[in-house]
Amino acid sequence: MTDRRPGFILPLVDNVPVILSVDAFGRSYESHRAVDGLSFQLRAGEILGLVGPNGAGKTTTLRTIAGVLPVKEGRITVAGHDLARQEESAKRAMRWIPDDPQPFDALTVLEHLEFTAALYGQRDWRSRADELLARFELSEKRDAFGGELSRGMRQKLAFCCAWIARPALVLMDEPLSGLDPRGIRSAKHEIEALARDGAAVILSSHLLVLIEELATRLLILDRGRKVFEGTLDEARARFPEHSRGSLEEIFFAATGDGSKAP
């Protein structure tokens, strides 16, 4: 079965289109094996919480899906396009928000949105830009240069740039860093709204409370390997000693550090 959206022909799982498919993905740095044989799928409307200890391979996985790193092992398909062979089409369907977004210092906030819209072929950008700037409380900063923005504002601008082209897949690495409490609440609502509108989201963070709150599914990595994939309830069933436990307890159980958990 397939879903024929404009520009995409997507396979369906449980009648929901698969936006991202990662199959036997691996990556090595010199003698270090960063990711080994990773496979998973992500459907439209899902928020996948990607967690793992430092060096688990989360950022390598995200950066490879985003196109920053080349696919050397395995196969990654984004919105039906093979990332290695149809790179441009695959990239057109997704946006990447790194942990410390660096805007262009000579472009204003509004010009960042104008530029991003052109880059991703979004024609009716102006009204959407105004709407996004208002939603992320950046309207007053529309004429500020990227180099003049604080850490939190840079993060909000990265959200606006990601949202403007209505992506099918959004990859986020520690997306709430630098945001104030109001910004955090607003960002969480926006991420949920984005998923409700049919986008697939991968959320990588060490803030397990955030993952527990937003993610519809979990992917736990440890030393480059997948140690768990599924919902929080499935995780509790997999680790019965934590059947009522939080994600933090499950995380320590899954990554083999349960004895060290406080």
- Tell me which residues touch another protein (CB under 8 A): 29, 63, 66-69, 87-89, 91-92, 95-96, 98, 102, 104-108, 111, 115, 118-121, 143, 145, 147
Q: How far apart are CA 38 and CA 81, in angstroms?
A: 18
Q: Are strands 16-29 and 2-5 parallel, antiparallel or unpaired?
A: unpaired
Q: Which is nearer to another protein, 50 or 109 (CB)?
A: 109
- For the CA atoms of 48, 194, 11, 237, the dihedral, rounded to the nearest 10 degrees, stands at 30
Q: Which is nearer to another protein, 8 or 120 (CB)?
A: 120
Q: How far apart are CA 64 and CA 215, in angstroms?
A: 21
Least distance (Å) between residue 224 CB and another protein: 15
Least distance (Å) between residue 86 CB and another protein: 10
Q: Which is nearer to another protein, 1 or 106 (CB)?
A: 106
Least distance (Å) between residue 48 CB and another protein: 19
Q: How far apart are CA 7 and CA 19, in angstroms?
A: 13
Q: Which is nearer to another protein, 57 or 245 (CB)?
A: 57
For 22, the 3-state DSSP assignment is strand
Least distance (Å) between residue 25 CB and another protein: 16
The token duo for 198 is 């049919």
Q: Which is nearer to another protein, 32 or 196 (CB)?
A: 32
Least distance (Å) between residue 116 CB and another protein: 8
For 73, the 3-state DSSP assignment is strand
Q: How far apart are CA 111 and CA 3, in angstroms?
A: 34
